[in-house]
Structure 1
Amino acid sequence: MDELDNFAKAGVYTFILLCGLLPLEANGFGFGLPVTPASALMCSCVGGLVGGGLICRNPLVAGLIGGLIAGPSSYFAVSILAQNFDTLYTLAIVLVQGLSTLPGVGVALLLKKLLLKTESSAA
């Protein structure tokens, strides 16, 4: 993550914490914090918004929408993984969370390209 600025790094950490670790807590893995699935889902929506906005700040709308898609999809993927296995390996969690964010990343990149193209043609 050397090429990311401090805002983008904070966005990645926010996303991992709220969209990856809280679903594990809600499904019985982790530190034993009292996290319900509903509160973990709400936190993943907020984490996706904040993380997406911090990672993709120009244009901000692309980051927010992409994050709003990536956050809950990551929550559901990690939750399904946690519900179906007794033992989880870190690599499996990273792969599942990374792959589940791809739709949000794709939408964010598409919106960024469209919005920047619109700005340059209007100027």
Structure 2
Amino acid sequence: MPSDVQEVSAMADAPEDLQYTTDHVWVRPGNGDDVRVGLTAVGVEDLGEVLGVTLPEVGDELARGDVAVEVDTDDETVDVDAPVSGQVVAVNQVIVDAVSALASDPYGDGWLIALELDDPSELDDLLDADGYESLTESP
């Protein structure tokens, strides 16, 4: 996913309970070492019309920076990189069947994958909500 941050409207409101990458990916810590991963509202808006997604398989091992998900838009396929390393423990079939959930509920039903973290300290490298919002605010 392109890492260039663009000016954004009110969609920059980032939930406080999540952590973020500069590539518009969010991480929600869960039970133990499990996290959910998705695209921020800003990231989804930047993609334009989303036509479909390709998710990894449960059991796949992903290193931070590996392509975790492919998002097909009306004019390109965009790679979404894993923000942390871990094993895929769940994928969101809802968005395969109803990709509109990415835009309508990016922080809820629009999640992409769940990972069991290999190294929980990788979460320390992510941005908090204030840090992410400062990236997406108008100068």
TM-score tier by shorter-chain length is 0.3 to 0.5
Whose strand fraction is larger, Structure 1's or Structure 2's?
2
More helix by share: 1
Q: Relative contact order (alpha carbons < 8 A, sep ≥ 6): 1 or 2 greater?
A: 2
TM-score (norm 1): 0.33
**TM-score between the two structures when normalised by the length of structure 2:** 0.30
The structure that has the greater radius of gyration is: 1
